[in-house]
Amino acid sequence: MRSDPLTPYGNRPMVTPIVNAVNYEYLSFDILRQITDGEIDGYTYHRDDNPTVRNVEHRIAALENAEDCIVCTSGMAACTLVFFSYLSAGDHLIIFHDTYGANYKVSLILERMGVDITWIDAEEADQIGEHVRPETKMIFLETPSNPLCKIIDIKMIRSVAEPIEAMVIVDNTFATPYHQNPLELGADLVVHSATKALGGHNDLMAGAVAGSKEHYNRLWFTRQAIGTTLDSYSAFLLDRGLKTFELRMETMSRNAQQIAELLQSQPAISRLMYPGLETHPSYKTATRQMKNGFSNMMAFDVGECEEDAKRFITALKTVWHAVSLGSTESLICIPYLTTMLYLPPERRTTFGVQTNTVRLSVGIEPFDQIATDFKQALACISKGEG
């Protein structure tokens, strides 16, 4: 038998190879059985598992202090895996208005399948006890939320979910594991759009769900059944992105804190929502449940109307006008015109987003570069230019 070309004398490559194989040779019936019984992490077919994907799953599980992690094709695939794995007709789901817009679309599918859904506002999270029922199976939340960076007390939600044995699911995309570990605060599962800060370079789409081994097995069943396993090239890029994850987050959240402090004193900016500012309505909760700072995300209102926000964004020279978040580049957008297009028009403004609200994802650029750009764009709008 010829030696393995990757490890001719037992050495291994520094980087996990991109394994593009769809299928794998069974070395024996005993190994086949061990793989199919889940006793060993072996490989048979890409839809089941892949070594490049498995490697990145272990890395994300470690970041979230989870027993295991399932990685899939996008953040929305991750949310959907969770819903499809645990909800059945007759179950009740509580979900916050302040979650990523596409969850609304998924909620329409869930309702068609017989799931009863209650939407509540993050600002009314402490009244969640009024909405739970014996058939409440799941509470799904984001904190900080997208786009308004509202903060929900995860421990408080756990205390309400506990007596009725409802699951608590936290989308941790905005906070990232650098700033918050929801499993340690009482969540059953933590969800990520790994497209964002985990990947970090605007060059891959992926989702992740981390939790116990038992949950992993159940989510794996769904992912294998519906075929949302990530491709190995994206898994490789995600793994590469994760090597600088902490460095990027440290720089991004330090920049964000300073940008928030700068914007706070600008007359054209109002309702600045950044959890690292004492003026944030849930600053104390954020301080308690977040660590190493408060993430790179913020939202604020520009001027009086949509046109003011558009003029401000148009005047920016280095901050990119684009959706998505958590990448090395600073990105800005008007959620009403972009990420919230998934919602019917009347729902887009019901929980605090306005037509002049902008969402900012601060990147790793030198702070002075971002600050100079904001200052000149603000000067343009106050002069009526832009």
Task: Give min distance, CB of 4 to ligand PLP, in A.
Answer: 35
Task: Give min distance, CB of 13 to ligand PLP, in A.
Answer: 28
Of residues 207 and 386, the one with the C-beta less far from ligand PLP = 207
Torsion of CA 181, 185, 186, 189, to 10 degrees: -10
Q: Which residue has the tokens 């789901």?
A: 93
Q: What is the DSSP letter of 230?
A: P
Task: Give min distance, CB of 205 to ligand PLP, in A.
Answer: 5
User: Which residues in this chain contact ligand PLP in the complex, by CB under 6 A?
Assistant: 74-76, 100, 142, 146, 171, 173-174, 193, 195, 205, 207
Contacts of 72 (CB under 8 A, 6+ apart): 78, 81, 206, 207, 208, 209, 223, 228, 229, 230
Of residues 195 and 282, the one with the C-beta less far from ligand PLP = 195
Of residues 193 and 289, the one with the C-beta less far from ligand PLP = 193
Task: Give min distance, CB of 314 to ligand PLP, in A.
Answer: 23
d(CA 147, CA 281): 15
Task: Give min distance, CB of 194 to ligand PLP, in A.
Answer: 7
Task: Give min distance, CB of 30 to ligand PLP, in A.
Answer: 39
In which element (H, E) is residue 298 found? strand 297-302
Task: Give min distance, CB of 48 to ligand PLP, in A.
Answer: 22
Yes or no: say if 185 and 289 are a contact pair by the CB < 8 Å rule: yes
Task: Provide DSSP, 17-72.
Answer: -----SB---S-HHHHHHHHTTSS---SBTTT--HHHHHHHHHHHHHTT-SEEEEE
State the pairing for strand pair 297-302/116-120: unpaired
Task: Give min distance, CB of 99 to ligand PLP, in A.
Answer: 7
d(CA 361, CA 351): 21
Instruction: Specify the amino acid at residue 8.
Output: P
Of residues 43 and 174, the one with the C-beta less far from ligand PLP = 174
Q: What is the DSSP letter of 280?
A: S
Task: Give min distance, CB of 81 to ligand PLP, in A.
Answer: 12
Q: Is the backbone peptide bond immediately before 147 cis, with ω within 30 degrees of 0? A: yes
Neighbours of 349 (CB within 10 A): 14
Task: Give min distance, CB of 225 to ligand PLP, in A.
Answer: 19
Task: Provide DSSP, 119-161.
Answer: EE-GGGGGGGGGT--TTEEEEEEESSPTTT-----HHHHHHHH
d(CA 40, CA 31): 8
Of residues 176 and 232, the one with the C-beta less far from ligand PLP = 176
State the pairing for strand pair 116-120/92-96: parallel
Chain residue at closest Cβ approach to ligand PLP = 75
Yes or no: say if 300 and 263 are a contact pair by the CB < 8 Å rule: yes
Q: Which of 175, 219, 196 shows the shortest CA–CA distance to 69? A: 219
